[in-house]
Amino acid sequence: MKGRLDPQLVFLVLTNVGILAAGAWASGGVFIDPYNLQSMASQVPELGLLAIGVMLAMISGNGGIDLSGIALANLAGVTAALLVGGMISADDAPLLFSVAFGITAVAVGLAGGAVNGLLIAGSGLTPILCTLGTQLLFTGLAVVLSNGRAVSTGSPAPLEELGNGTFLQVPTSFLLFIAVAALIGMGLRFTPSGIRLLLMGTNPVAARFAGFAQGRMLVATYAISGALAGLAGVIIAARNVNVKWDYGGSYLLIAILIAVMAGVKPEGGHGRMICLLLSATALQLLSSFLNFLDVSNFFRDLAWGLLLLFFLAIIRYDALGALTSRIGWRARPEGAPAAGDAATKG
Amino acid sequence: MKKFLLAASVAGVALAGAAVELSAQTKPTIATVVKISGIPWFSRMEVGVKAFGSANPDVQASQSGPATADAAQQLKIIEDLTARRVNALAVVPMDPSVVEGALKRAMDRGIIVVTHEADNQRNTNADVEAFDNAAYGAALNERLAKCMGGQGKWTSFVGSLGSRTHIQWVDAGAANAKKYSGMTLVDEKNESFDDANKTYEKAKEILRKHPDIRGFQGSAGNDVLGIGRAIEEAGLQDKVCLVGTGLPNPSAQYLESGAIDAIGFWDPRDAGMAMNSVAKILLEKKPLADGMDLGVKGYEKVTVKKGPGQGQLIIGNAMVIADKATYKDHLF
């Protein structure tokens, strides 16, 4: 396993390089000038964070998925803007406002995610139905709190820096995204909790008999997913100066597409952070490339749909390939070693 | 794997081939970004953008917009066009507040920004509005008063009480109706939520409650359709007057039957041309002056004043009030 390159990773790297090259050629270089690279990089984090949330939920297995991400991100942004904006003036105390805003938004996200986890683990609700329900709940709450209007956060210096600033030519929000992704990726790969999560996703029955605290792990997983949504809410606020309940309605499916393109198995137990990052950037590159070419946005929806089906097929194909080349390795009763394998890949 | 790569590279080359003309552009580009593509309103606007492009061969004019009604998708298009370094953006924001950040980044990059339907937009060089809202409301009501002969009870509909322009229209209408001592406003500002069925139910209730009602003034695009259906079913086409915002194609049936007496609107084709015209003026570094002619019907003598931000607010006189005899001039 160690000696063999992951085809998903190779494919994603080639896709990224290919689109960059095609874009550079077609636009006479404008596509890869620093401004566009920065512009594309700063568009990635909001969607990327939501996709990590979806990935974590998928890894937990048992049909795990988080549909409430963008709704929770909007709720977190709206709540934090109203709450913090009501107590602290963004003009008088920009640093205090920004920090309080960030903490509140992430806390709301964490709480919302924990609600998801408690419902799924506690009452055994199917994740897809549960998070569909909480998605509507979160959206509704955001509408009620804000009366359906956009809430302004203003642009206090630290938030402005997060939204528009760069560090060594790299957008700050992108750096934050990479840092968070690295942290979670290492957690998945090196910590006992991370490895247990992969194992639980691979075979929930075995995990139960092995004495895993499944309930607590589910709650923690969905809570982290929620906190990531809250962080996405902070980035949205930092970039747009305003937060609104209906922002990013199309993000839900795109976040799932990023996760599936990254080779995260919908049946659980497998997902690599490096693939997720490359998948998020590939989708952003392709999206910007189509905008550079003035291609109709209806074509984009079609392309997304095709990509989703295509990658689902690849996952299926690879699973089959692995089965035929190494007979017996992935047979269900021995799910645990296969997952341990996945875990070492991180 | 090889097959996938082959397919992917073939697709990539095909797409890139389609884009070679992109790198060959030297003319200034004006990119119009609408709320959503593919709906009649913005298809009509695209007619205007294309017409502007062929009338002005020295600029490159194009229109794009998201396939779904999502402010985030519109934002991404604006970001990418900014990175592509178009010379001017003409934006009809899905939500003016959400695009403030993106428009500011575009302006910081030296791109001219023109907006439409966003008189509260702060980060714009110029916002173009088709007409003064109060004048439009008064004009609709004047048409209603003419139909009612200045006599009888009338009521008004708004999309929702939170919809700023609708409230401005009906308030101006109510102020206009005060000129006629015989006109009485009853149960004003019914909420229709721009839903023809809900409006229909509400209009039926009003017809029952006030059997002697003689006039309706609608605001949202679907109001006239719902009220028109209620009037037609009650057989009151000749007795009850109905005037409101509406589009020619959907309203045609009720205009013909007489259920709707007149519809008011502005033509998105002309609005698209006016936005592009303003963008071109700004690209040529010419000033915007009060009373100037944008060379577009309804925008021959525009009012220019200071907007809410750094930019200017340009108000045309492009309202169209059409009835059975004239709606066919604006079929869209």
Do the domains at B28-124+268-316 and B133-266 have one common CATH topology?
Answer: yes
Are residues A240 and B8, on separate chains, in Cβ contact within 8 Å? no
Asked if A232 contacts A239 with a C-beta cutoff of 8 angstroms, the reply is no
Q: Which residues of chain A are within 8 Å of residue B62 when distances are taken between CB atoms?
A: 294
HEC readout, B209-242: HCCCEEEEEECCCCHHHHHHHHHHHCCCCCCCEE
From 3.40.50.2300, 3.10.105.10, 3.30.830.10, 2.60.120.330, which CATH number describes the B133-266 domain? 3.40.50.2300
Q: What is the mean pLDDT of residues A244-268?
A: 90
Three-state SS at A297: helix
Q: What is the mean pLDDT of residues A333-344?
A: 41
Are residues A249 and B68, on separate chains, in Cβ contact within 8 Å? yes
Burial class of A85 by CB neighbour count within 10 A (0 to 12, 13 to 18, 19+)? middle
Percent of chain A with pLDDT over 70: 90
Q: What is the mean pLDDT of residues A248-255?
A: 89
Q: Which of A275, A269, A287 is nearest to A311 (CA)?
A: A275
Three-state SS at B129: strand
Q: Which residues of chain B are within 8 Å of residue A301 when distances are taken between CB atoms?
A: 67-68
- Smallest CA–CA distance, residue B144 to chain A, in Å, is 33
Domain assignment of residue A25, yes or no:
no
Name the domain count of chain A: 1
pLDDT at A338 over 50: no
Are residues B16 and A25, on separate chains, in Cβ contact within 8 Å? yes
**Cα B312 from Cα B222, distance rounded (Å):** 31
Give A94's contacts (C-beta < 8 A, 6+ positions apart).
A156, A157, A158, A159
Q: What is the mean pLDDT of residues B291-315?
A: 92
pLDDT at B259 over 80: yes
Percent of chain B with pLDDT over 90: 72
**Cα B89 from Cα A116, distance rounded (Å):** 42
Structure tokens at A329: 């390795």
pLDDT tens-digit map of B122-163: 999 999 999 999 999 999 999 999 999 999 999 999 988 777
* Sheet strands side by side (includes B88-91): B60-64, B29-33, B88-91, B112-116, B126-129, B312-315, B303-306
pLDDT band at B28, cuts 50/70/90? Answer: very high
* Beta partners for residue B242, in sequence order: B216
Find the closest chain B residue to A152 by CA distance: B97
Give B78's contacts (C-beta < 8 A, 6+ positions apart).
B33, B89, B91, B99, B102, B103, B106
Structure tokens at A93: 């105390």
pLDDT band at B176, cuts 50/70/90? Answer: very high
Structure tokens at A197: 């999560």
**Cα A71 from Cα A85, distance rounded (Å):** 20
Q: Which of B110, B5, B29 is nearest to B276 (CA)?
A: B29
User: Residue holding tokens 């919809």?
Assistant: B163
Whether A5 contacts chain B with CB within 8 A: no
pLDDT tens-digit map of A302-327: 888 888 888 778 777 765 455 445 54
Whether A296 contacts chain B with CB within 8 A: yes
Domain assignment of residue A152, yes or no:
yes
Residue A10, amino acid: V
Q: So what's the pLDDT on residue B21?
A: 45
Domain enclosing residue A330, as ranges:
44-345
E-strand stretches of chain A: 151-152, 166-167, 170-171, 242-243
Q: Write the CATH number for A296.
A: 1.10.3470
Q: What is the mean pLDDT of residues A275-290?
A: 93
Return residues 190-219 of B near A (CB < 8 Å).
none
Which of B13, B95, B105 is nearest residue A164 as measured by Cβ atoms? B105
Q: So what's the pLDDT on residue B9?
A: 54
Helix, strand, coil proportions of chain A in percent (round to 5)? Answer: 75, 0, 20
pLDDT band at B11, cuts 50/70/90? Answer: low
Quickly count: other Cβ atoms within 10 Å of residue B328's Cβ. 11
Are residues A297 and B81, on separate chains, in Cβ contact within 8 Å? no
Q: What is the mean pLDDT of residues A238-257?
A: 90
Q: Which residues of chain A are within 8 Å of residue B53 when distances are taken between CB atoms?
A: none
> How distant is the alpha carbon of residue A12 from its chain centre?
17
pLDDT tens-digit map of B118-130: 888 999 999 999 9
Q: What is the mean pLDDT of residues B39-52?
A: 92
pLDDT at B316 over 60: yes
Return residues 39-68 of B near A (CB < 8 Å).
62, 64-68
**Is the model more confident about B88 or about B98?**
B88
Give A329's contacts (C-beta < 8 A, 6+ positions apart).
A322, A323, A337, A338
Q: Does domain B28-124+268-316 have CATH number 3.20.20.140?
A: no
Domain assignment of residue A23, yes or no:
no
**Cα A147 from Cα A326, distance rounded (Å):** 58
Q: Where are the domains of chain B?
A: 28-124+268-316, 133-266
Q: So what's the pLDDT on residue B142?
A: 96
Q: Which of B267, B57, A291 is nearest to B275 (CA)?
A: B267
Would you tell me the crossing angle of helices A172-190 and A34-59 to the nearest 10 degrees?
A: 30
Total-model pTM: 0.79
Domain assignment of residue A38, yes or no:
no
Domain assignment of residue A158, yes or no:
yes
Q: So what's the pLDDT on residue A332?
A: 41
